[in-house]
Amino acid sequence: MALIHETSVPNSYRAAFLEKLVQVSKNLGINPNWLMLVIYWESARSFSPSKKNPYSGATGLIQFMPSTAKGLGTTTAQLAQMTAVEQLDYVEKYYSPYKHKIKSFIDLYFATFYPAAIGKPDNYVLGSSSYLIQKIAEQNPAFDNNKDRKVTKVEVEKTMLEKIPDLWKGEFLKNTMAIGLIGFFMLAGIAASSYYLIYKA
- C-alpha to C-alpha distance for 25 and 176, rounded to whole angstroms: 15
- 174-197 pLDDT, tens digit per residue, is 554 444 444 444 434 433 333 333
Q: What is the pLDDT of residue 123?
A: 96
User: Where do the domains of the chain lie?
Assistant: 6-113+161-184
- C-alpha to C-alpha distance for 82 and 26, rounded to whole angstroms: 22
Count CA atoms within 13 Å of residue 132 on its CB side.
7
Q: What is the pLDDT of residue 173?
A: 79
- 118-177 pLDDT, tens digit per residue, is 999 999 999 999 999 999 999 999 999 999 999 999 999 999 999 999 999 988 875 544
Calculate the dihedral angle through the C-alpha atoms of 34, 35, 40, 43, rounding to the nearest 10 degrees: 140
Residue 28 clears pLDDT 50, i.e. is over it: yes
Using the 8-state DSSP alphabet, how is residue 142 labeled?
Answer: G
Other beta carbons within 10 Å of 114: 18
- C-alpha to C-alpha distance for 82 and 36, rounded to whole angstroms: 18
Band (pLDDT 50/70/90 cuts) for residue 45 is very high
Q: What is the pLDDT of residue 194?
A: 34
- C-alpha to C-alpha distance for 166 and 44, rounded to whole angstroms: 20
pTM listed for this prediction: 0.83
3-state secondary structure of 125: strand
Lowest mean pLDDT among 25-34, 69-78, 82-91, 184-193: 184-193
Q: What is the pLDDT of residue 174?
A: 57
Cα angle value 167/101/41 (rounded, 5°): 40
Residue 48 clears pLDDT 60, i.e. is over it: yes
